[in-house]
Amino acid sequence: MGVKNLFFAGVGGQGLVLSNQIQARAALRAGFDVKTSDIYGLAMRGGSVYGYQRFGVLAEGGVLSSTFPAGAGDVLVSFEPLEALRWAHLMRRGARAVVNASPVYPSAVLLEKAPYPRDVVATLAGAGLEVTAVDAQAIALRAGSAKLVNVALLGALARELPEVGPEHVRAAIRELVPAAMLEANLKAFELAYAG
């Protein structure tokens, strides 16, 4: 199968690093070699944040580098529409994109210095991506908290990654999410996975 290249894009504070870690543990549980690379630091404060994930078959040599070049991405998971546009160039033509439909306005939009882009899904599709728009915020609120957007997106992503399998994502959620929030997280995952 070669190495599968995922890219997580979002805004600081959306729980992107945890999503990448849960997805990585799921791929590990499915028997793959996995490497991830996240951005931390200043970008946490509402800035643009991102993470790479690569998984591949150990017997085929596993994964060497934790990042991949532009054009090599297979799946883009974007927590926010504008961030999907920012990182779409990392994807190959025909790559899948799972995009949360709720915008988070950057300061230039809040200050009315730039318009928020229109028709993000159409722009991504025009660039050759197969886009699934997810109302992850609505799913998260149904599951109990706006903070569950990250796990809702993992539910939508699980539909794109049959080689990993939802049972491993559920197990990874149980492994990494604190007990008090576990039930709501699993609910957000199931609601999004059901589509």
Partner 1 sequence: MSERQFLTGNQAVARAAWEAGVTVATSYPGSPATQLMEALAGHPGLYTEWSASEKVALEVAIGASLAGARAFCAMKHVGVNIASDPLMTFAYSRVNGGFVLAVGDDPGMHSSQNEQDSRTWGPFGFLPVLEPGDADSARRLTLEAFALSERLETPVMLRLFDKTCHMAGRVEVGERRPPASRGYTPSQADHFMAPPYSIARREKLEERMRALQAWAEGWEENRELPGQGRLGLVASGHLALYARELAPGLPLFQLASVFPLPLERLRAFAARHERLLVLEELGPFLEDRLRLAGIACEGKRWFPDRGELTPELIHRGLVQAGVALPPLPEAAAVPAPIPRSPMLCPGCPHRPVIRILQDLKITCHGDIGCYLMGSYEPFSAFKTSISMAASLGVAMGMGRAQQDDPAARPPVSVLGDSTFVHSGLPSMANAAYNGHTLKVVLLDNQSTSMTGCQENPSTGKDIRGVKHRAFDFLGFCRVVGMEDVTEVDQFDFKATKAVLKEKLEAPGKSAVVIAKRPCALKYKVREPFFYVDPDVCIGCRTCIKVSCPPISMQRYAHKPEGKLNSFIDETQCVGCSVCSQVCPVGAIKRSTPGAEPPVPRPAGHERKG
Query: What is the per-residue DSSP string for 122-171?
Result: HHHHHTT-EEEEE-HHHHHHHHT-GGGHHHHHHHHHHHH-TTT-HHHHHH
- 82 lines the binding site for partner 1 (CB under 8 A): yes
Q: Interface mask (CB under 8 A) for partner 1, residues 142-181, using x and -?
A: x---x-----------------------------------
Q: Decide if residue 132 touches partner 1 (CB under 8 A).
A: no
- Single out the residue of 15, 18, 28, 57 in contact with partner 1 (rule: CB under 8 A): 28
Which of 1, 59, 111, 180 is in the footprint of partner 1 by CB under 8 A?
111
Minimum Å gap between C-beta 48 and partner 1 is 4
What's the Cα-to-Cα distance from 121 to each of 3, 54, 93, 118, rounded to whole Å?
A: 26, 25, 15, 9
Contact segment (CB under 8 A) with partner 1 among 136-144, 155-163, 177-185, 186-194 equals 136-144
Contact range with partner 1 by CB under 8 A, out of 32-40, 153-161, 163-171, 181-189: 32-40
Q: Does 123 bind partner 1 (CB under 8 A)?
A: yes
- What Rg, from alpha-carbon coordinates, does the chain have? 16
Taking phi over 0 as left and psi of -120 to 50 as alpha, with beta for the rest, 123 belongs to alpha
Structure tokens at 92: 């190959």
